[in-house]
Structure 1
C-alpha cells in the first residue's frame, strides 16, 4: 500500500524515537511505501524539499513560523498550512496514488486536503485523534463559545470527522467523548488506537546512573520523581507548584522538572523566589543527557489541569513505562489515564486539586519494593498494550 502521513510536527529523521516515527517505521518494515508531508518553518531559511531517506519519502514544505511566535502569527501560519501542503502534494506527488491517508490532531485544518486526496486516489483515511480542539481551548478559557473563532474551528472539526473513514482514539474515554458530543458519527468508525512506541531495552547501569546524577546534582539517597515534557496551560502548573511547596521539607523525595512551554517562566519564577532544596528545574538538556537522567529516576509524574472536560491521555506515559518506572498522575476526573494506571497496578492517581492526596501517593511510592513491582508491571503493560505493532494491526485490520 502507498501510505500518506500528514503531520505539523517536525520529523527530522525517521530513526528518531517517537509515537509517529515508530509507527511509520512499522509500516515500512511491513512492506508499505510511506510518504510523509511535514512542515519546514520559515525561520530555517530552507526551501521545500522532496527526498527519500532510509526508504521513506519526505516532502518537507516551507511554511510560516508556528512555534516560538506570537498568537496572531501562529494562527495565520497554521491556517495557511493546508493550502501549502496541498500545493506541494500536487507538485511533487501528483503521480503517486495513495491507498491510505493517516493524520493526527492537531491540527483540525486538513479537511480539504484529505478530501482532495481521497477523491483523486479513491483512498481511505484514518484520523489519529490526539487532541480535541476547540473543546480543550474552552476548558482552559483560551477560547469562549461566544468567540466567532470557536465556531469557525468547530465547523472545521466536524468536517474533519466527517471526512475520516476511521477515527482512532487514545483511550476508551476518548471514544465515549467523541460519540457523545458528535452523535452524527457512526460508532462503527470510532475505535481505540492508543499512543504506542517500539519499546527499547532500558539498562539502568549503576555506573551510568551515578555519573548522570553527579553531573546534575541529583541525590542518591532520595526517591527521585521526574516530570519531563511540555510545561504549558494543559499541565496545570499552579497545582504542580503547590505540590512542590507542600514537599519542601520532605527529606525523602527529590523532584526533577524538565521541559519547556508557555508556563515555564512561571515555574522559573517560583524556583528563583523559593530556591527549593529538594527540586531542580531544567529547560534545555542535551537529548542524550535528558534520556539518561529520565531513565535514572524512580517515579514518573503526569500533570493535567483539573478544568479539563475532555479526556487527555499524555504520550509521556509511554517513556516512563518503557523505563520500568511507576507513575503518579495528577489530573482532571474526565481522563481515564488514572484508571488505566491503577488497574494495571503500575502507579497511582489523584485529582489535580488535592495536594493532600498527592502527598499520600508520594509517600507510598517511596517504598523501594513497591517501586520495583510497579515498575515491572508498567513495562509488562506497555509490551502487552502499547507497542506500534498493536497500533499497526488495529489500523490494518480495516484492510484485510
Structure 2
C-alpha cells in the first residue's frame, strides 16, 4: 500500500516519538509498503524539503516552532501548524499525491486537518495512533482545570477522533475512555507501543569513567518533565545513599531537568549523575552499562500509559523499578511477566525497599533478563504494529470505508486547497 504517515517528530529529533516514527516507517518499508512521511519542521529555511531517508520518502514542511517554548506560544503555534503544513504541501512536488491509507500520530492533537485533507483527496481510510489522552492527563496533573482552555483542547481532540476510521490505543485500559464518546463511530483496538531492536554501537556516556564506576546502576533515560513526577527518584537515591554499591544515572532533557539537577546538588547526592540527552542510537550502549531501568509517572495520572522507555529497558534485558499511578495497565504487566518491581503508593520508603528486593532478585533469578527480552519481542515489535495497522487499513478499504469519507467528500484540487481557515467542532 501507499501510506502517508503524518507526525510532528522524526529524526534528527531524539524524542521517544521521533524514535517510534523512525522505527514504524522503516518497518512499513521493510514489509513492502511505499511510505511517505510528512513531518512538521520548524527548523526549515524553505517551505518544504523532500528527501529519501533509509528507503523512505520524507517530506519536511515548515511550520511555526512548537518545541521549547512557553505554553501560550506553543498552543498558538500548534493551532496553526497543520494549516502551515497544508499550505507548504500545496507548494511541494507531492501536492497531488494519492495514497491508499493515511496514518497519523498523537500527540500532538492538532494534525487532524492534514489527515482530513489527504484522506479526502485520496478517498482512503485513516488510522489514528493515540499514545496519550490529552487534555485529560493535563487535568489529572493539575496543569489545567475544566474551563475554556480545556474545552478548546477537547474540541480539537474530538475532531481528530471523528476523522479516524480506526483508532489504536496503547493499553486495554484506554478503550473505555473512547467508547461512547466522539470516537464511538471508529473501530477501536489496542495497538501496543513498539521499538526496533538496535545493535550496541557504544555510548558517549561512560559509567566506568565516572564516580559511579563499579556500582549497580539504576538508569533513567528520557524526558524529565512534569508528567513524569521524577522527584521521588531523587528521594529514592537519598534513601540509598548508605549503599556504596548503588548509583543513579539520569540521561535526557525536559522542563524539570535543571530543577532536578539543582535539587540533587543541594541534597549532596553523590550517588547521582545527570547527563544531557544522547542520540537514540547510543541507548543500547548506555543500557549495556546499567542494571535496572527506572520508570516514573506522576501518581495523579488517571489514564493508562506504557512509556517508551519501558520498551527500551525490556529490549535491553533490563528489569524495571517503576513508580506509577495505581490502576495503570503497566502495573499488572510488570507483575505478571515478572520483569521488575512496581510501586503505586508514591512512597520513597516503599520504593527503596522494592529497589533492595529487586537487586537481591537479580542475584537469585538468572532468567529475569531473558523474560524482559522475550516480552519486548512478543508485545512491542514494529513488525507487529505495522501488520496490525496495514490489516486494519486494508479491511477498511475492502468495503468498510464509508463513515468518514461519506462526510468529508472527495476533491480534485491539490491537497489542502480549502483548508486555509481553521475550523473546529464545538462538540465536546
Alignment match, 2:370: 376
Question: 5 Å matches for 1:11-50?
Answer: 11-12=11-12, 18-42=19-43, 45=45, 47-50=47-50
Query: SS of the residue aligned with 2:302?
Result: coil
Query: SS of the residue aligned with 1:10?
Result: coil
Partners of 1:170 and 1:91 in 2: CA distance: 35
CA contact (8 A) 1:169 1:175 kept: yes
Query: SS of the residue aligned with 1:90?
Result: helix
Question: 5 Å matches for 1:1-400?
Answer: 1-12=1-12, 18-42=19-43, 45=45, 47-92=47-92, 93-146=94-147, 148-179=148-179, 182-186=180-184, 189-200=187-198, 212-220=206-214, 222-285=215-278, 291-351=284-344, 353-367=346-360, 368-370=362-364, 372-398=366-392, 399=394
CA-CA distance at 1:127 after TM superposition = 0.8
In the superposition, relative to structure 1, how do residues 272 and 103 fare at CA in structure 2: closer, same or farther (>3 Å)? Answer: same
> Please, which runs of 5 or more residues in structure 2 have no aligned partner?
396-428
Partners of 2:251 and 2:278 in 1: CA distance: 8
Deviations 1:186-238 (A, max 9, x none): 487111111112223559xxxx79x9322233221x32111111000001122
**Residues matched between the structures, number:** 389
CA-CA distance at 1:262 after TM superposition = 0.6
Partners of 2:197 and 2:282 in 1: CA distance: 19
Q: Between the two structures, name the one with larger relative contact order (CA 8 Å, sep ≥ 6).
A: 2
In the superposition, relative to structure 1, how do residues 345 and 362 fare at CA in structure 2: closer, same or farther (>3 Å)? Answer: same
CA contact (8 A) 1:252 1:366 kept: no
In the superposition, relative to structure 1, how do residues 287 and 311 fare at CA in structure 2: closer, same or farther (>3 Å)? Answer: closer
Query: SS of the residue aligned with 2:96?
Result: coil
CA contact (8 A) 2:107 2:132 kept: yes
Partners of 2:178 and 2:323 in 1: CA distance: 23
CA contact (8 A) 1:212 1:289 kept: no
CA-CA distance at 1:352 after TM superposition = 5.2
CA contact (8 A) 1:202 1:323 kept: no
CA contact (8 A) 1:173 1:335 kept: yes
Larger CA deviation: 339-348 vs 350-359: 350-359
CA-CA distance at 1:85 after TM superposition = 1.3
CA-CA distance at 1:157 after TM superposition = 1.0
In the superposition, relative to structure 1, how do residues 272 and 4 fare at CA in structure 2: closer, same or farther (>3 Å)? Answer: same
CA-CA distance at 1:290 after TM superposition = 5.2
Aligned CA RMSD, in angstroms, stands at 2.4
Query: SS of the residue aligned with 1:365?
Result: helix
CA-CA distance at 1:326 after TM superposition = 0.6
Query: SS of the residue aligned with 2:206?
Result: helix
Deviations 1:18-75 (A, max 9, x none): 2221111111112211111112224x64552122333321111111221222223222
CA-CA distance at 1:185 after TM superposition = 3.5
CA contact (8 A) 2:198 2:281 kept: no
CA-CA distance at 1:285 after TM superposition = 4.6
CA-CA distance at 1:79 after TM superposition = 1.1
Partners of 1:288 and 1:123 in 2: CA distance: 35
In the superposition, relative to structure 1, how do residues 21 and 289 fare at CA in structure 2: closer, same or farther (>3 Å)? Answer: closer
CA-CA distance at 1:356 after TM superposition = 2.3
